[in-house]
Chain A
Amino acid sequence: MKNFEKIYIDSGTTWTKILKVDKEKRYEVIKTSDFKKQKNIKYLKSTGHSLSKEKGIYENELIALSYGARKYLNQGYCVLDLGSRDIKYVKFENQKFSQMDWNSSCASATGATIEMLLKFYDVKNEDLKFNKEKYAITCGIFGLERIMDDVAKGIEADVAISKFIHGIAYNAFNFVKKEPKICVSGGFCENKCFLDSLSNYCEVVPLGRFVLVDGLYEMDNLNNYI
């Protein structure tokens, strides 16, 4: 097995994102449950909900996000990270930090809920299409109830889930105070239905799910440039 010089880890609730750097960069995504089974992984920096906060190694997610998306933040984009169980954003003004928020409690209706719904109704991610209707889902539990009620009434599950995702996108748009330009980080970048739903409200730039590990790499290699 190849020994990489530097490893950076973003271990989220469901998925762990890994950046391995040698002469080249290699990105990997594995289930966090599988990552936890791996022993003796030596990493330089880490972030994410599922890792302990080792001093000198662990960085907080908002800081990793800010470093990873610095280029876009400096262009005036708001950067939104939507994960399995939380939502956070950062905004710069005149190339300086100006706003942020992080909700890890009431944003439970995010990635993990969608994955659960897709599995439960046997729907594929690629089958989801933007639906101009949306469920008001200030609470994930009520959102699930709406989906189940509508499916019971004969609405196709993929349509109901799409409306749910539109609701998440609308909530995300409100969470960032209706910013006109939003860069999206996290697993939702691979959900076209979400990106199309959010595009209904603002300009959207998907950055992929490795922004935080990129941020760790940047922090490790270029100090204090923000």
Chain B
Amino acid sequence: MKNIIGFWGYPRKELILEYKLKYKDAQFIDLDIDYSYPKLSLTPDNYCVIIKNILNNAYYLKDNLIAILAPVGKDKCDSAYFVSELLKKEGFNVIQSIFEDKCPDINNLKTPISDSALPLKEKIELITKNIIEQKDYSTLPKTKAEFGFWGVPPNDLEILNLFPDNTSVFGWVRAVEAGYPGDFELESYAKENLPTVFFCQSFCSKNYLAKYLAQKYHGLYIDIDSTPTNSAKAKIEAFLKLR
């Protein structure tokens, strides 16, 4: 039975709305996330784990998928573009989306979740969940940020538990909350003098940006593949404690 709409990244809002209206009973599933479905080893071993998740999820759910809403622009990455094209060839109903709108005023954004006092893991889960739900969180209490987390939602969200609640969110996740996932300036935004961990998934092309920004803002650059090593966790802990 086809009752699932798969997506990754942040498909254009009007596309989400169109599919919400068209398939009122369908369930939206974020294919970026690891649901522990069988691992297919379709990609080379040294490949972005998020893309591996997309493939594992898509093939596992294939019989139930109505469509896949597939961001392929600067709001996602080239790997997603190639995956979308290959999935089309394999019979998936893939609807490509490009969400590269420029943010008109970087200093006047609504990012209540990113700046809230919620635990960091909850912040990031809520922002990604809200891609589909589009609820208003403007009444969330703000916190004075003592630390920053920059990047994408990690494959293993457990590392987010290392951060205190007064950690603000930056990078692609903040850009998503603001509604401009493909805006480079917004994605590159971080705060001077705010100790920030610049995180990237291994094998992702954003690694250069993460490292560049970490040097610029005297932060900690860290890349993690599927799950964090003890040394990766220890580096984050030490950075948060020693800064």
Q: How far is the CA of A102 from the CA of B229 in the complex (A)?
A: 10
B235 near A100 with CB under 8 A, answer yes
Over the window 185-226 of chain A, the binary record of Cβ atoms lying under 8 Å from chain B Cβ atoms (1 yes, 0 no) is 000000000000000000000000000000000000000001
**B residues near A96, Cβ cutoff 8 Å:** 243
Which of A60, A97, A105, A226 contacts B234, CB < 8 Å? A60
A104 touches B229 (CB 8 A): yes
B239 at the A/B interface (Cβ < 8 Å)? Answer: yes
B39 at the interface (CB under 8 A from A): no
**A66: nearest chain-B partner, CB-CB:** B242
B129 within 8 A of A: no
Q: Which of B226-243 contact A (CB under 8 A)?
A: 229-231, 234-235, 237-239, 241-243
Closest to B215 in A: A99
A44 within 8 A of B: no
Interface check A101, CB cutoff 8 A: yes
Residues of A17-58 at the interface with B, using a CB-CB cut-off of 8 Å, are 49
CB atoms of B234 and A62 under 8 A apart:
yes
| Assembly CA distance A90 to B237 (angstroms) | 13
Q: Mark A92-126, 1 if CB is under 8 A from B, else 0.
A: 00001110111111000000000000000000000
User: Which among A66, A104, A105 is the interface contact of B238 at CB below 8 angstroms?
Assistant: A66
Considering only residues 24-41 of chain B, those with a C-beta below 8 Å from chain A are none
Which bracket fits the contact residues of B?
10 to 19
Which of B220, B229, B238 is the most central at the interface, judged by chain A CB atoms within 10 Å of its CB?
Answer: B238
The reply on A61 being an interface residue by CB < 8 A is: yes
CB distance from B157 to the nearest CB of A (A): 19
Cβ of B102 within 8 Å of any chain A Cβ, yes or no, is no
Specify the main secondary structure of chain B where it touches its partner: helix
Chain B contacts for A97, CB-based, 8 A: 239, 242-243
Residues of A within 8 A of B242 (CB): 62-63, 66, 90, 97, 100, 226
- Find out whether the CB atom of A100 lies under 8 angstroms from the CB atom of B230: no
B241–A86 CB distance below 8 A: no
Give every chain A residue within 8 A of B241 (Cβ-Cβ): 63
Residues of chain A within 8 A (CB-CB) of B235 are 62, 100-102
**Contact flags (1/0) for A64-75 with B, using CB distance below 8 Å?**
001000000000
Q: Using Cβ atoms and an 8 Å threshold, which residues of chain B touch A90?
A: 238, 242
The answer to the question of A88 belonging to the interface, with a C-beta cut-off of 8 Å to chain B, is yes
Q: How far is the CB of A34 from chain B (nearest CB, A)?
A: 23
Chain A residues within an 8 Å CB radius of B230: 49, 104
B144 within 8 A of A: no
CA distance A197 to B117 in the complex (A): 51
How near does chain A come to B202, taking the closest CB pair, in angstroms? 12
CB atoms of B238 and A62 under 8 A apart: yes
Residues of B within 8 Å of A105, CB to CB, are: 229, 231
B88 at the interface (CB under 8 A from A): no
Kindly name the residue among B237, B239, B241 whose own CB sees the greatest number of chain A CB atoms within 10 A.
Answer: B241
- State whether the Cβ of B2 lies closer than 8 Å to any Cβ in chain A: no
Residues of A within 8 A of B243 (CB): 96-97
CB atoms of A60 and B237 under 8 A apart: yes
B218 within 8 Å of A (CB atoms): yes
A88 close to B231 (CB less than 8 A): yes
A103 / chain B contacts, CB cutoff of 8 Å: 231
Beyond contacts A49-B230, A62-B242, A226-B242: 9 other A-B pairs, Cβ-Cβ < 8 A, are A62-B237, A62-B238, A63-B237, A63-B238, A88-B231, A97-B242, A102-B231, A104-B231, A105-B231
Q: List 15 A-B contacts (CB under 8 A).
A: A49-B230, A60-B238, A61-B234, A62-B237, A62-B238, A63-B241, A86-B231, A88-B231, A90-B238, A96-B243, A97-B243, A100-B239, A102-B234, A102-B235, A104-B230
Taking Cβ atoms with an 8 Å cutoff, the residues of A that contact B are 49, 60-63, 66, 86, 88, 90, 96-98, 100-105, 226
Q: Which 8 A-B pairs have the closest CB atoms?
A: A62-B238, A97-B242, A102-B231, A60-B234, A104-B231, A63-B238, A60-B237, A62-B234
